[in-house]
Amino acid sequence: MTRIATLYEPIREELAAVEETLAAVGKADPPWLAEMLSAVLFAGGKRMRPAVALLAGRFGDYRRELSVPLAAALELLHTASLVHDDIIDSAGTRRGRPTASSLFDNHAAVVLGDYIFAQAAVLVAQTGNAEVIRLFAQTMIIMAEAELAEDRVAFDYQQTTADYLRRIKGKTAALFAVAAQGGALVANASREQTEALRSYGENLGMAFQIVDDILDFSGDEQEMGKPVGSDLMQGTLTLPSLILIERHPDDNPVRALFEERNRPDLLAQAIAMVRESEIIEESYRMARDFGDRACAAVAPLSEGTARTALEGLTDYVLERRT
């Protein structure tokens, strides 16, 4: 298993600076706001999006004073989106810890997410790079559109794999893409390098989300920190469930689950059917395909610790269990 700490070694000091920046955001006044921020900013995330941005910056004229605020802004954007996701999904836990919406009322959690979005905007503005600021704002729009699209088709049985891929491209891959592209832009990397890194980030994000959706069926609840099958219970079709529907169009429990809701027996049946078939491996094949595309995108870039780390992150994403 690839150890993420080893991959982060080339940017260890910068990631520490990102943590300091996040801690500064968390030292809000009044104290009750600081307490709310602490509940979500330091909930055990792996900081992959900041890491991608920092590593991408190594392919240009690396400037820590620009890369660190960008990296912290990306983590804040990611965190804010999770706060809002948990409200929409009525999720009680994330990474084994209570969500903001379960600790506080939904109204407070919504405003908390908005506050974190605003802090992300303040940090990205510190780059002074108009193109990066534009891309950051555009990515927020793309992510919001994808979330709205997912909400509109909740419990809709008539979805396709193409619909799913389009949705995760907006919801997850867009943020990885802007992390890599933004990191390159603030370092004044060449156009070819910037495009290669953007492609890397997008494909890494696609692989990341597919693996996340596989783990929703195959993972261990204690390791993941959330219930197995939570996506289906929320009416969200992901790659494994779409393949299940394709394999058993007239005889699978997903349709009944979506029609009747709140049927743990049907959820358990769907999970068992996925686990006891080749669906998990078929889904991993698609994730590996995106991982291969990510590595191919950065293959022309100069060799060194940054490229090695980016390639290693792809392996980590495909191997992860949480």
**Other CB atoms closer than 10 Å to residue 105's CB: what's the count?**
11
AA identity, residue 56 = A
Average pLDDT in the 116-141 region?
Answer: 97
Average pLDDT, the chain: 93
**Helix segments in 153-252, DSSP class H:** 161-168, 174-186, 191-218, 221-224, 230-233, 239-247
AA identity, residue 232 = L
Residue with the two structure tokens 């990397």? 189
Distance CA 50, CA 78 (A): 10
| Per-state percent for the chain, helix, strand, coil, to nearest 5 | 75, 0, 25
Query: For position 2, what pLDDT does the model report?
Result: 63
Element (H, E) at 93: strand 93-94
pLDDT band at 104 (very low <50, low <70, confident <90, very high): confident
Q: Which of 68, 72, 183, 178 is nearest to 120 (CA)?
A: 72
Q: Which of 131, 294, 286, 134 is nearest to 203 (CA)?
A: 294
Distance CA 74, CA 176 (A): 9
Query: For position 145, what pLDDT does the model report?
Result: 95
- pLDDT > 90? residue 202: yes
pLDDT digits (tens, 9 = 90+) for 34-85: 999 998 998 778 999 999 999 999 999 999 999 999 999 999 999 999 999 8
Query: For position 224, what pLDDT does the model report?
Result: 62
pLDDT digits (tens, 9 = 90+) for 224-247: 666 789 999 999 999 999 999 999
Beta pairing partners, 97: 94
Distance CA 14, CA 64 (A): 7
AA identity, residue 48 = M
- pLDDT > 70? residue 222: no
Average pLDDT in the 81-106 region?
Answer: 79
Are 56 and 180 spatial neighbours (Cβ–Cβ below 8 Å)?
yes
Residue with the two structure tokens 């743990």? 264
Distance CA 9, CA 61 (A): 19
Give CA separation, 301 vs 102, 200, 202, in Å: 45, 11, 17
Q: Which of 206, 273, 212 is nearest to 243 (CA)?
A: 273
Average pLDDT in the 5-18 region?
Answer: 96
Distance CA 23, CA 37 (A): 9
AA identity, residue 235 = G
Beta pairing partners, 98: 93
pLDDT digits (tens, 9 = 90+) for 168-182: 999 999 999 999 999
Q: Which of 36, 51, 47, 125 is nearest to 83 (CA)?
A: 36
Note the CATH number of domain 4-211+295-319: 1.10.600.10
Distance CA 255, CA 195 (A): 41
Beta pairing partners, 94: 97
Q: Which of 151, 152, 143, 150 is nearest to 170 (CA)?
A: 143
Tokens read off for 4: 């993420």
